[in-house]
Structure 1
């Protein structure tokens, strides 16, 4: 591993602000409001979209949905306490094969395009790099930092190095080490580099001196269609917090439930930063964002779920569990990378019992044994009661098509499943909401939105 001493003489913030001014003058896709914040919007590509390299046109919506559900169960294991960092490793929570949403970005000068997993449950952004000691097969060329004029390794005494599990190599190069719950891993140099992001207008935005991992030793269950991860978590080294001065801690996304509808081929989900991420309007509801350890994950407080006129009170996991709420707060993780919604066993049982009493349809067992509550349905729809998730200060009416999905012909199942010691508000439940995160005000806002038209 090597050290490249090329560096800008200007601070990252000053360079960024100069760039923003020049970009505005040349009418590039940087939007400023009266407060001076900057707004950016980018595409999020669902892994089952025709725009994704993972897309299999022979798969039916039911097959895509089944596959996404299986990934949810695997991903949940990465949020458990025994998946967290030890003294020797830093654990990530992302399910590495292959993630639900992808982003195209370019790194370096000249820019090299990569396709990476966009994940609100991970902090460090990384990609495979030359020279590669041990890398998983990748369909596109690896990033070669020797060919970039803007690459610079992070020193061992730098604040960025101290924020992750690392060691010092080559005299003064910060080497990060990250392992995953399935024994996958990435090891490499922590570095600064210019990132180029493609805005939805077709123009590009350059962001200098982004801290990322240049992975020289990567292995396990990663897929060759992607080359790494874009970390959108709440930790110090995530992209969100690295750009805090520019975006003021704001980002939002609008997710299309593309796994449910194969006809959606010419639209994508979107992710916004800065002023473009502000969620406003008369129908917006907001709930506190609870800060907990680890800071990577975004915690909310779920007070209960109502079915029709019946309220099922939510209670945190058993005392001493990995995710027991602190003072009754922060009992569920909102996660874009998990398709299903996972709830603790006792609460799930009470919720299902309430649903069964209110649904007039023929119950049917799921042949795969995946789902606990299924019904016969000729058109993929049942007459389900209104389901509302009650977060602190925010009531969300959940779409019937998101709560009961057709998993095979003539069979619809509840997309909420039981889990031990963990609760996750998944992306099916989040679909067709514009969801805004404000890490300064510590809140998450929801606005019902047709994300195919957003």
Structure 2
């Protein structure tokens, strides 16, 4: 919802004055803090009300489509930030490197623009698959008027409308489905089946421009031609979320956008994703991370290469669980929670269960979590076992976000946020929260560092109310506030306060109900 006239001008001026007041940069820095993206934060609202008397009632509410659109719009103009030194510039989407953690399965999303004229899509970011696809020439697609995406700026793409678009012929090296082609000059079909039952996307492959921009002090527009799916038929979970507006595959295959950009020499063959504890994140193509990050090598399977890593043990509080050789979990940003197969799932869950003090919950829930515990109404803190993953390189990955909190009018409970899998072991996005994850395909390593997604030095960020939660879910008689935490030996003590605000998702997510889609993963 755009502001207009004098109201817009005065509100904009007051906003920047508020930013100067709240987030004044230190001498020598060339850019403001990335807190600029919290244009409509509670701090700025309160400051404008108290100092000017100007109404902020028409400012977009956190969690609304207008809110997200505004954040993406302002992200475009905030440049001059290099997360790492590189011989080639960092590159990101023309709408900015901002990613948002929405309520569509708790994945991260980015706004992308493709074609000429440019068409916008809000796409889920998935390192567990290769293909980038958007709904196009739809035969069976998700309802674009769904409340989950309604109002988010988006258009309709067709290669017949775009002046730079063309169908990928079956003769192309990037056509993997030649056996389904009727001839070498026919259109290349595609179909991708995902792990979630009966979930797929199919259509034809097209070539068109993806609108990108360099991440430096003098940003330049880059419009490379990439291959993506004109997704005509979606099935399963895609019809109800979490990829209602498309999916951006970031895998190791030749069809993925990172592979195409690297093979064309536009970027270094690496990219990073930062997962902020407040629901915001960052994505940068060409980013190799920093010299002080932890690293471990990928274990790349020839048949279907993914970002698999070798884990030697997992520490849960005081207990160390040895991992059998050959267990290779995948780092997958397209999976909301962490999925583990037995015996590892039960070993971690039972070890966690033995070290917590709260009683096991008997409350029926649609949540896909087994290890859940009651929080009493007068409870002031939760003491949970720390979880640390040791890689074959000897590097340690400290899990900052191991639990979720479920609140209802009946009972508040918290759960260990792992889900039992039939076979795959996946480190999901919830375990990545609070880290910058670097997928360095050039070196063949996964890198990570505990990181504040707003500052290049990784300094602590001011606490903000997460925009990833709808206003209705931000009420709880005794919300857990993990911003107030202390470390006690092998445990993290999370202090609880009686508050009407949602818990900060650095360690927890607060919500009343969990959609069945959360039990699905790519």
| TM-score of the aligned structures, taking structure 1 as reference length | 0.69
Asked if 2 retains the 8 angstrom alpha-carbon contact of 1:104 and 1:197, the reply is: no
Q: Determine if the alignment matches structure 1 residue 271 to structure 2 residue 283.
A: yes
Q: Number of residues paired by the alignment?
A: 354
Measure the CA separation in 1 of the matches of 2:240 and 2:303.
27
Asked if 1 retains the 8 angstrom alpha-carbon contact of 2:374 and 2:414, the reply is: yes
SS in 1 for 2:344: helix
Match in the other structure for 1:144: 158
Runs of at least 4 residues of structure 1 off by over 6 A? 27-34, 198-204
Match in the other structure for 2:239: 222
Measure the CA separation in 2 of the matches of 1:305 and 1:382.
21
| TM-score of the aligned structures, taking structure 2 as reference length | 0.60
Asked if 2 retains the 8 angstrom alpha-carbon contact of 1:290 and 1:329, the reply is: no
Match in the other structure for 1:212: 228
Q: Pick one of 423, 426, 429 that aligns with 2:425.
A: 423
Measure the CA separation in 2 of the matches of 1:443 and 1:169.
40
- Higher RCO, Cα 8 Å, sep 6+: 1
What's the offset of the Cα at 1:32? 11
What's the offset of the Cα at 1:453? 5.0
What's the offset of the Cα at 1:366? 4.5
What's the offset of the Cα at 1:196? 1.1
Measure the CA separation in 2 of the matches of 1:138 and 1:442.
39
Show structure 1 runs of 5+ residues with no match: 1-26, 49-53, 55-67, 69-98, 259-263, 316-327
Measure the CA separation in 2 of the matches of 1:372 and 1:247.
43
Q: Determine if the alignment matches structure 1 residue 159 to structure 2 residue 169.
A: no
Match in the other structure for 2:304: 295
Q: How does 1:157-306 map to 2 (within 5 A)?
A: 157-162=171-176, 166-168=180-182, 171-180=185-194, 182-197=197-212, 205-220=221-236, 221-223=238-240, 226-244=244-262, 245-258=265-278, 268-274=280-286, 277-282=287-292, 284-306=293-315
Once superposed, what is the RMSD of the aligned Cα atoms?
3.2
Asked if 1 retains the 8 angstrom alpha-carbon contact of 2:113 and 2:210, the reply is: yes
What's the offset of the Cα at 1:413? 1.5
What's the offset of the Cα at 1:271? 0.8
Measure the CA separation in 2 of the matches of 1:45 and 1:385.
28
Cα pair distance change 1:106/1:164, threshold 3 Å: farther
Measure the CA separation in 2 of the matches of 1:293 and 1:197.
31
SS in 1 for 2:369: coil
Measure the CA separation in 2 of the matches of 1:333 and 1:216.
29
Match in the other structure for 2:91: 40
Show structure 2 runs of 5+ residues with no match: 1-77, 146-153, 457-522
Cα pair distance change 1:367/1:29, threshold 3 Å: same
Measure the CA separation in 2 of the matches of 1:314 and 1:112.
47
Cα pair distance change 1:279/1:179, threshold 3 Å: closer
What's the offset of the Cα at 1:417? 3.2
SS in 2 for 1:162: coil
Q: For each residue in 1:146-191, what CA deviation from the matched residue of structure 2 results, as whole angstroms up to 9, or x when unmatched? A: 3322112222211011377742469532222334554344433322
What's the offset of the Cα at 1:199? 7.3
Cα pair distance change 1:189/1:288, threshold 3 Å: same
Match in the other structure for 1:17: none
Match in the other structure for 1:414: 416
Measure the CA separation in 1 of the matches of 2:384 and 2:83.
44
